[in-house]
Amino acid sequence: MREKFVNLEKRIGIEFKDKNLLVQAFCHRSYLNENLDFNLGHNERLEFLGDAVLELIVTNYLYFKYTEQTEGELTSWRASLVNSKTIGETAEELGFYDYILLSKGESRENGKARLFILADVFEAFIGALYLDRGYDITRDFVENHLVCKLSKIIELGLYRDPKSVLQEKTQEETGVTPAYEVLRESGPDHKKHFVIGVFLKQNQVGKGAGWSKKEAEESAAKDALEKQNWK
């Protein structure tokens, strides 16, 4: 099992002192249900830690790099970097999916479900890296693989909140304020997954999913903008 992760260490150029931490970062809860003899836990505690470390690193970078920007601008830029889509895509680019330990059912997931799994693993990996190699190496990894995407995000205006943009557009075009409704929710209380629809009056114009209502609403708003071909 641990030998498999040697290739990942070579790919990212970082060698873990504690190989168990690295393996655990890639262990989805579902894997344990089918592998009762697995001697490590799942990655959710590491994900919890990694989320906080990731936000601290990005916040610290933005604060000292962009001294003229307002708190609101920095908050929008940070949100565009640490959301599930951006970190999930970063994990995909790094080849993380090939190493995730999943149940047979979860391993067949595609699309957004796959992206959310990747995002969780990325955060868990950051938590494991922080524990194993410390803040400086973790910071360098995040800046080299994630923060480097900021210039493109700013250039293309991808940091703008999709919900705000959708409300502006719908008010302009139809005079109607979009409304959001939970279509489905699943999972335990500590890990709820939401599917939310956005409506203009009675018409559903978009749908999105996320691990929080806010994330799902933003995903739904983005879906609506794309379907209406509104930039």
- For 162-227, CATH gives 3.30.160.20
The reply to whether 162-227 shares the fold of 2-156 is no
Please tell me which residue, 231 or 123, carries the higher pLDDT value.
123
- Spell out the domain ranges in the chain: 2-156, 162-227
Active site annotation includes 123: yes
DSSP letter string over 5-49?
Answer: GHHHHHHHT---S-HHHHHHHTB-HHHHHH-TT--S--SHHHHHH
CA-nearest of 15, 1, 5 to 141 is: 15
Please tell me which residue, 113 or 39, carries the higher pLDDT value.
39
- Going by pLDDT thresholds of 50, 70 and 90, the confidence category of residue 107 is low
- Going by pLDDT thresholds of 50, 70 and 90, the confidence category of residue 113 is confident
Highest mean pLDDT among 28-42, 44-58, 110-124, 147-161: 44-58
pLDDT at 2: 67
pLDDT at 144: 97
Q: Reduced to 3 states, what is the DSSP secondary structure of residue 144?
A: helix
Residue 141 has pLDDT above 70, yes or no: yes
Dihedrals φ, ψ of 111, to 5°?
A: 60, -135
Alpha helices in 67-161 (DSSP H): 71-82, 84-93, 111-133, 135-145, 150-156
- Going by pLDDT thresholds of 50, 70 and 90, the confidence category of residue 230 is confident
Active site annotation includes 47: no
Selected catalytic residue, list 47, 51, 217, 218? 51
pLDDT at 195: 95
pLDDT digits (tens, 9 = 90+) for 72-105: 889 889 988 998 889 999 999 999 999 999 988 7
pLDDT digits (tens, 9 = 90+) for 142-191: 999 999 999 998 888 778 778 888 988 898 888 899 999 999 999 887 77
Q: Mean pLDDT, to the nearest integer, of 195-216? A: 91
Selected catalytic residue, list 106, 123, 132, 223? 123
Under CATH, to which class is 2-156 assigned? mainly alpha
